[in-house]
Structure 1
Amino acid sequence: MRIIKLDAIDSTNQYLRQLNLEYKLQDNTVVVVKNQTKGKGQMGSAWLSEPGKNLMFSMFKQLELPVRDNFYISMVVSLAVVKALQSVGIPELAIKWPNDILSCDKKVCGILIENGLKGQHIKSSIIGIGLNVNQENFKELPKASSLKSLTKKTYVIDELLNIILKQLEVYFSKLEANQLDALKQDYERLLFKKDVMAEFKNEEGAVFYGIIKSVSTSGKLQVLPKGETDIKAFDLKQLVLKY
């Protein structure tokens, strides 16, 4: 595993993507940065971070996976992060669909996955992870928190990186071994608001209530709307889970 450490760049995902265009990156190449100035989350949302206080890195992963199974990458990464955080005593962890990591109902980690395709197969992924570690100021982000805010402990960022990388290796080996059903079951077991009444907003802006039942293998959220008998499937652009 090659780890590249930098002081400041726009985006670790973007840096790795450009690096892969110029060179043939080896599997598990990792870029870690102290200050990421233009980090992105799902659907282009900004990932804001105080310099030196959080863990921000991206990993280049070589794969051979059918496009139809792309969401298993998200499952693998989410599960690896949760397992790593469990090992250092972070409480009440859950995965908010598709791959935000929550502790005590607060977001502590964001994940952004960008896949490289060839035909009907995924040949590589650039996996960006932003974990709030020792930052304590989230005035503009009331739903966010950090490991230090939750536990009152200060963490060594490099140690957390090593723990997460080790768990990524474990869970990607499960994907390579085709343990798809087990991965899906583990992911759904940790799914935030599963099997309880929750509030949603659809793409038209209308609010409705329903129960999350599962996630399809393609990553769509399976929701049973209140008062209805048929489960409906939603992708990321069609639904917001309010909490």
Structure 2
Amino acid sequence: MNIIKLDAINSTNDYLKGLLQRQFVENFTIVTAENQTDGKGQMGSKWSVQAGKNLTFSVLVKDLLLEVNHIFHLNVAVAVSIIEALSFLEIKELAIKWPNDILAGGKKIGGILIENSLKSDGEIFSIIGIGINVNQQNFENLPKASSLSILLKREINKEAVLISIVECLTRNVSLILNKNTDSLWEKYHSCLYKKGIPMPFENLKGNKFMGIISGVDQSGKLQLVVEDDSVESYEIKEIKMLY
């Protein structure tokens, strides 16, 4: 396992992308940073954490041959891998909040950002950015955030969590390569936050409505049963859950 450890960097995703442009980088290379000054979340949002207290890292996954509409298989594998790794710590009430937040007890403890590059031969290079709140204790003005140490009431070994996540990811990516993704999707849906429960949502126009999450389709769209019992599909950022 090739791990590049940095004290401070603007973004581990950007660092890994730059490295790929300059040299050969082996599959599952990991870049970690004690302090990430310009961490990114979905759709350009910021991911800000306390220096030295949390896990911020990126993993290169390449040699994947997937149809474009099946790229979300990797998102599923990453989210499930984090759930599996954190389950070993006996974290309770773990859930995946669509599309890429990791929750415990209804509070956010992690997030995922995957940046894909598709080559002409169908090969996909993916840089997987993962942030996990590990030992941070104070989340001022972030009432929906928590950390592993808050939940377990003890200091957590960050590197052990990192290794566990990447080991789970390596195993689950092999399932994708072997076209055996049913078990990944089953676990993903079993961990999907608020699945099957009526919840309020808001669309891009600011309109609020009730819906029930029935699942996520193969392309990553959220499937909602709405008030007339029809099923509507939503892309990332087209709606938000009001919780």
Normalising TM by the smaller chain, what interval?
A: over 0.9
Shift of 1:121: 2.8
Pairing 1:4–2:4 present: yes
CA contact (8 A) 1:64 1:124 kept: no
Q: CA deviation at 1:123?
A: 1.7
Corresponding residue for residue 139 of structure 1: 140
Q: How far is the alpha carbon of 1:122 from its aligned partner?
A: 4.5
Matched, 1:219 2:220: yes
The percentage of counterpart residues that share the same residue type is 45
In the alignment, the residues of structure 2 paired with residue 183 and residue 89 of structure 1 have an alpha-carbon distance, to the nearest angstrom, of 20
| Residue matched to 1:23 | 23
Structure-1 residue corresponding to 2:91: 90
Q: Which letter does structure 2 place at the counterpart of 1:56?
A: T
**Do the aligned residues in 2 keep the contact of 1:70 with 1:122 (CA within 8 Å)?**
no
Aligned to 1:154: 155
Paired residue secondary structure (1:165): helix
CA distance in structure 2 between the aligned counterparts of 1:150 and 1:122, rounded to whole angstroms: 40
Equivalence map 1:70-219=2 (5 Å): 70-119=71-120, 121-219=122-220
CA offset at residue 120 of structure 1? 7.4
SS in 2 for 1:236: coil
Q: What SS does the aligned partner of 2:26 have?
A: coil
Q: Which runs of 5+ in 2 are unaligned?
A: none
Partner secondary structure for residue 21 of structure 1: helix
The CA RMSD over aligned residues, in Å, is 1.1
Q: Flag as ranges the 4+ runs of structure 1 deviating above 4 A.
A: none
How many aligned residue pairs are there? 242
Helix, strand or coil for the counterpart of 2:155?
A: coil
State the Cα distance separating 1:182 from its structure 2 match.
Answer: 2.1
Instruction: Tell me, in whole angstroms, the C-alpha distance in 2 between the residues paired with 1:122 and 1:230.
Output: 36
- Give the counterpart letter for 1:172 in structure 2: V
Deviations 1:3-40 (A, max 9, x none): 10010000000000011011121111110110000000
Distance apart, 1:68 and its partner CA: 1.0
Partner SS state of residue 66, structure 2 = strand
Shift of 1:174: 1.1
Deviations 1:23-58 (A, max 9, x none): 121111110110000000111111111111001100
- Structure 1: give runs of 5+ residues left out of the alignment: none
Residues 71-109 of structure 1: per-residue CA shift (max 9 Å, x gap): 111000000000000001111000000121000000000
Structure 1 contact 115–122 (Cα < 8 Å) conserved: no
CA distance in 1, matches of 2:85, 2:43: 26
Secondary structure class of the residue paired with 1:60: strand
Cα distance in structure 2, aligned partners of 1:182 and 1:158 = 27
